[in-house]
């Protein structure tokens, strides 16, 4: 969705393969990135709607 997502997934998966993260930490970080992207998308949609309504 955003440019950060591929980078975050790459970094998290690399740390997981190196053994520096366990599966639960990996899943949590990917989920957290997804939630941040959803919040950014909602914020942008609200701002666009407010801009076009006024």
Report how far residue 6's alpha carbon sits from residue 36's, in angstroms, rounded to the nearest whole number.
14
Q: What is the pLDDT, as a whole number, of residue 3?
A: 67
Instruction: Report the share of the chain in percent with pLDDT over 70.
Output: 94
pLDDT above 80 (res 1): no
Chain segment 8-23, per-residue pLDDT in tens:
999 999 999 999 999 9
0.85 exceeded by pTM: no
How would residue 4 be classed by pLDDT, with cut points 50, 70 and 90? confident
Whole-angstrom CA distances from 15 to 2, 39, 40, 41 are: 21, 26, 26, 27
């Amino acid at each position: 969705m955003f440019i950060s997502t591929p980078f975050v997934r790459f970094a998290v998966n690399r740390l997981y393969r190196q053994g520096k993260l366990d599966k639960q930490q990996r899943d949590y970080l990917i989920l957290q990135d997804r939630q941040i992207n959803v919040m950014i998308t909602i914020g942008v949609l609200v701002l666009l709607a407010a801009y076009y309504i006024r």
